[in-house]
Amino acid sequence: MLRFITAGESHGPVLTTIIEGLPAGLPISVEIINEAMARRQQGYGRGNRMKIETDQIQITSGVRHGLTLGSPVTISLPNKDYKNWQSVMGIEPLEDERAKLRRAVHRPRPGHADLVGGIKYHHADLRNVLERSSARETAMRVALGSVASQLLKGLGVEVAAYVREIGGIVGEAQIDSLSLDHLRKQVAASPVMMVDSEVEAQVIEKIDATKKAGNTLGGVVEVIATGLPIGLGSYTQWDKKLDARLAQAVMSINAFKGVEIGDGFELARRFGSEVMDEIAYDETQGFYRLSNHLGGLEGGMTNGMPLIVRGVKKPIPTLYRPLQSVDIYTKENYEASIERSDTTAVPAASVVAEAVVAMELAQAVLEKFPHDSYGELQQAVTNYRTYSKNPDMWQSNTDENVENTDWAKHADAAAEAQN
Ligand SMILES: Cc1cc2nc3c(=O)[nH]c(=O)nc-3n(C[C@H](O)[C@H](O)[C@H](O)COP(=O)(O)O)c2cc1C
Ligand SMILES: C=C(O[C@@H]1CC(C(=O)O)=C[C@@H](OP(=O)(O)O)[C@H]1O)C(=O)O
């Protein structure tokens, strides 16, 4: 089982993650992880924090000479901004209690975790909430996702993401189910990580106008995974269903409010005949589908078609235009003060969504196949791919062979017993 945990505050010294359950002998490239980290920092519409940080990770356990050892892998990321926050974020107790109060955050922002977190954990200083609820944590998920993507790539599975919509402006992608390279190149060339340059210009204009008005924007991201073996996840128990697990993974990203698989909410408006992905077979491909409305998942399992997962991100809650709130000390109404913030972070969120989907897929792969060593895992996946193109238990059940199979004899015996 793949397990991970993340730790760290937004303006604390360092973010950390520990991941356990990776096979031994998996090649891990720090450079590839750092490329993903840099992608998450990009995207038009972000605030000034991203000018301070240059996210470069360090691996401090579980990898030797570029290969995993099978022991827990620890990844850490220093916050460059910490040097500006040392007195606010110190570990030692503050001598001067009044200074502590003077610095406390006591004006909760609507749409953020501030108010509820303060009530729940008895925090009189809402900074104790916002430091951890901040999406700075998503940097660690991207590091984890890159490790997962490196594992998947060596098994022939690719994961990529793009921005489908910002502030109501939609740009659709043409998906090449064999290679996501083209999509990745288009996304890399776009300041908003979209795939249609006409739409892109409109989006940039909208972000500029929104920022000027002191407002913020949300949007929709789409993650695509290709090359998935058939049968990851399971229909046998609620918490094994891969569609449900992917939804949780995507919803766990800050500010995500909805998830769709395949045509998602649009399915509500269609006839059954329009959306079931009809089955076909040929020897090279094995079983495949004539369409992909259901996003590559049936019964909580991958069906071999590209996986399509979308997530909707609400607009950023911290606005330059003040919103009505209440001071938790005085209980008086006030209008929230202006703070440093992003105007939109949908592009960055697409990179995070790609990462969390990759982690969930890696988890599902490791559940299905033996994986003490990476070579063993690769061999098992290759064998299974051959099998699933032409499953042998079905081959013996052709008309000529059917009377000779064990299950046919059992069925005959059962029928006789009933008579
Ligand atoms: C990449 C990314 C960047 C974000 N940047 C900000 C930001 O600058 N300011 C802000 O108020 N919220 C930002 N958010 C959203 C908040 O973290 C989020 O709304 C908050 O933690 C409350 O959680 P919830 O929206 O999931 O309920 C960002 C989210 C993501 C994914
Ligand atoms: C630090 C990141 O995003 C931050 C997420 C965030 C929030 O409230 O979620 C608020 C902002 O932080 P700050 O108050 O330091 O400017 C963003 O910059 C990051 O993505 O690495």
Identify whether residues 271 and 404 lie together within a single domain.
no
Count of domains observed in the chain: 2
Please say whether the beta carbons of 45 and 167 come within 8 A.
no
Identify whether residues 401 and 289 lie together within a single domain.
no
What is each CA distance from 288 to 83, 175, 243, 300, 326, in whole angstroms? 55, 16, 19, 17, 57
Question: For residue 351, which ligand has an atom nearest its CA?
Answer: 1
Identify whether residues 400 and 304 lie together within a single domain.
no
Give the per-residue pLDDT at 175.
Answer: 75
Identify whether residues 410 and 361 lie together within a single domain.
no
| Cα–ligand 2 centroid distance for 135 (angstroms) | 6
| Distance (Å, whole) CA 260 – CA 249 | 12
Looking at ligand 2, which atom is closest to the CA of residue 81? 15
> Residue 283 has which token pair?
């020897």
Identify whether residues 259 and 335 lie together within a single domain.
yes
Identify whether residues 43 and 129 lie together within a single domain.
yes
DSSP for 89-153, written as a single string = H-SSPPS-HHHHHHH---SPPTTSSHHHHHHHHT-SSTHHHHHHHSGGGHHHHHHHHHHHHHHHH
Q: What is the CATH number of the domain that holds 244?
A: 3.60.150.10
Identify whether residues 300 and 179 lie together within a single domain.
yes
User: 311: which strand partners?
Assistant: 221, 259
Identify whether residues 380 and 311 lie together within a single domain.
no
Among candidate residues 329, 346, 368, the one where a domain is terminated: 368
Domain that holds residue 405: 374-418
Question: What's the DSSP call for residue 16?
Answer: E
Mutate to test the pocket of ligand 2, among 141, 319, 320, 341 (most ligand atoms within 8 A of CB): 341
Identify whether residues 67 and 118 lie together within a single domain.
yes
Residues within the annotated binding site for NADP(+)? 40, 46
Residues whose beta carbon lies within 6 Å of some atom of ligand 1: 47, 111-113, 133-135, 138, 253-255, 314, 316-318, 341-342, 345, 348-349, 352
User: What pLDDT, in 10s, does the model give residues 78-116?
Assistant: 999 999 999 889 888 877 777 777 789 999 999 999 999
Give the per-residue pLDDT at 410.
Answer: 62
Identify whether residues 182 and 308 lie together within a single domain.
yes
Q: Is the ipTM of this complex over 0.95?
A: yes
- Closest of 122, 172, 142, 132 to residue 56, by C-alpha: 142
Query: What pTM does this model have?
Result: 0.94
| Cα–ligand 1 centroid distance for 363 (angstroms) | 26
Query: Would you say residue 411 has pLDDT above 90?
Result: no
Question: For residue 49, which ligand has an atom nearest its CA?
Answer: 2
Question: What's the DSSP call for residue 72?
Answer: P
| Distance (Å, whole) CA 210 – CA 123 | 33
> Residue 88 has which token pair?
């606010």
Identify whether residues 304 and 411 lie together within a single domain.
no
| Cα–ligand 2 centroid distance for 123 (angstroms) | 20
